[in-house]
Amino acid sequence: MTGAVSPSGPPTLVVGGGGLLGRHVRTAFERSGAPVRTASVPWHDPVAARSVLRSELAAFLGSAPDGRVNIAWCAGAGFVATPADELETEVSLFRDVLTDLRAALLPTTRLAFFFASSAGGVYAGSAEPPFTEVSEARPLVAYGRAKLAMEEALTEFCAETGSVALLGRITNLYGPGQKLSKPQGLVSQLCLAQLRGTPLPVWVSFDTIRDYLYVGDCAEMVVEALDGLHEQVERSGSNAVVKILATGTGVTLAAVIGEINRVFRRRARLRIPGAGTPGQVRDLRVRSVVWPELDQRTQTPFAVGVRRIADEIALAYSAATSALPTHVSEISIR
């Protein structure tokens, strides 16, 4: 495991702090003792969102006593099946925010930027898994193309400003706090279906392979990456570092279902509608070959992560909380 983050580290602004990854990143920074803040952004209104972020960024950059600042961009409502026009709006807003950020930079600013990208999105059409950072990115759907466009925009921003960035290509995140109303989050959806005893539609093959990364582990990787990003950039020679954030272990859908059945001590009720969905591929194993020190950590065992999700959803279910959706979504594996 890499070294602990210094409590005297630079302040961090987490954008998208209300989402699954953003909440855990914020918590990880708080646990480290480093200063962290989030912004309340009206994402449903791109014009208002840009205005809020412009003000937040200007105030944030001006608050750093020595100019060192971190931004962790964990925002993004899109997933594999999101329509292209919605994703274009998201990409456009990101570019606009980078324009505003460029204008707000001070002569003393030393910015480290983390961007949450998607390994499944960008490597969906790539050849010969396991994919690494040197594999050619070949997205199959608009979601993956949008992530690549945002990576490219941030890379250009860093080249122009001297800022540094980590383009974190994340595999399938799972853990407590998944938004159950979205048709994604395989483990959470299976746990919810188990509690309700309702059949869950599965649109992909049971031998579909994905890399499942516990969100708390991912958040710790983000925190440590931002802490050492300037040094990593010096070693790599590039201001924008591409890094796959993963466990490095591929797990089949059948194995995931088997583990959840073991936790609940009964078989899940599944419904197989037929043909799969566009952009879904069978094998998305990955292997990181960049910045290996970040991968040297004790990972949360899959069974432990599943139990934490099951306990959280069971508590919400027993309390009849409004956080639970009125129906179970179809599984969408990225």
Q: What is the pLDDT of residues 276-307, one digit of tens each?
A: 555 578 999 999 999 999 999 999 999 999 99
* 143-157, 270-284, 319-333, range with greatest mean pLDDT: 143-157
Res. 88: pLDDT tops 70:
yes
Q: Which helix (H) or strand (E) holds 170?
A: strand 164-170
Percentage, residues of the chain above pLDDT 90: 76
Res. 326: pLDDT tops 80:
no
CA-based angle 174:7:58, to the nearest 5?
A: 80
Q: Average pLDDT, stretch 99-120?
A: 98
pLDDT at 279: 55
Backbone angles phi, psi at 244, to 5 degrees: -80, 125
CA-to-CA separations, 261 to 187, 197, 208, 309, in angstroms, rounded: 11, 12, 18, 14
Res. 181: pLDDT tops 80:
no
HEC string of 251-305 equals: EEHHHHHHHHHHHHCCCCCEECCCCCCCCCCCECCECCCCCHHHHCCCCCCHHHH
Q: Average pLDDT, stretch 45-67?
A: 96
Pairing of strands 209-210, 251-252: antiparallel
Res. 1: pLDDT tops 50:
no
Residue 163 DSSP one-character state: -
pLDDT at 286: 99
Percentage, residues of the chain above pLDDT 70: 91
Give the model's confidence band at 25: pLDDT under 50 very low, under 70 low, under 90 confident, else very high. very high
Res. 329: pLDDT tops 50:
yes
Q: In the sheet that 36-38 helps form, which strands lie side by side, from edge to edge?
A: 36-38, 12-15, 68-73, 110-118, 164-170, 240-245
- Measuring CA to CA, which residue among 145, 151, 187 is closest to residue 279? 145
Q: Which residue has the higher pLDDT, 284 or 268?
A: 284
pLDDT at 270: 86
Lowest-confidence segment of 5-14, 191-200, 248-257, 298-307 by average pLDDT = 5-14
What is the rounded average pLDDT for all residues in the chain?
91
What residue type is assigned to position 146 of the chain? Answer: A
Q: Which helix (H) or strand (E) holds 99?
A: helix 84-104
Question: How far apart, in whole angstroms, are the C-alpha atoms of residue 199 and residue 272?
Answer: 10
Q: Average pLDDT, stretch 124-128?
A: 96
**Structural domains of the chain in order of their starting residue, each with its CATH number:** 12-173+213-245 (3.40.50.720), 176-210+249-318 (3.90.25.10)
